[in-house]
Amino acid sequence: MRTVIQRVSRASVTVEGKVVSSIGNGLLILLGIVVEDTEEDIDWLVRKVINLRIFNDASGVMNTSVMESDGDIIVVSQFTLHASTKKGNRPSYLRAAKPEIAVPLYEKFISRLEQELGKKVGTGIFGADMKVDLLNDGPVTIIMDTKDKE
C-alpha cells in the first residue's frame, strides 16, 4: 500500500457535483493498493497513520497525532499512486490492484481506521471520477509505502 498523507485545515471529495465527504482539521489520505498487499500491510499502515506526530502541540511543535488532536480523516482510493513512468511517456498502472482485490482491502483499511479513531472516516467513491479539494496545512505531506518501511 502506498499513501500520500496530507495534514489539512479542510478537505472534501465531490462526485458528480455532490459533496460525498468533507472534514475540517485532519488528514487527507490518498491510498494506492497493489496485488501483493495484505491485512498485515493494513495493520502496519493504520498504526503509523494514527500515531504519526504531525499536528502541532500547545508550543507549536509537530508533536501530536491525529487522534490526540481530535482530527478527522478522509481516505481516497488512487490507483495512479502505483504508476510506472520508467518506459515512455504514458504511465503504466499494471502494478495497481484490480477492483476485486483493491476494494476489500480499501474497505478494511477504512474500517480499521474507524475502529482506532473511534469515529467515522470520510471516503471518496471507489473508481469514481472524484474532485478532491483541500487546504494543505503547513504544508505537511508524507509519503508512506508498506513495501518500503522507512
* pLDDT, tens only, 72-97: 999 999 999 999 999 989 999 999 99
Q: What pLDDT is attached to residue 98?
A: 94
Positions marked active-site: 78-80
Q: How far apart are CA 124 and CA 21, in angstroms?
A: 7
Three cell numbers at 47?
A: 498504526
Q: What percent of the chain has pLDDT over 70?
A: 99
State the first-to-last Cα distance of the chain, in angstroms, to the nearest integer: 13
Q: What share of the chain is helix, strand, coil (3-state, %, to 5)?
A: 25, 40, 35
Q: What pLDDT is attached to residue 149?
A: 80
Superfamily grouping for domain 2-145: D-tyrosyl-tRNA(Tyr) deacylase (3.50.80.10)
Indicate the domain borders of the chain.
Answer: 2-145
**pLDDT for 131-148, tens place per residue?**
999 999 999 999 999 998
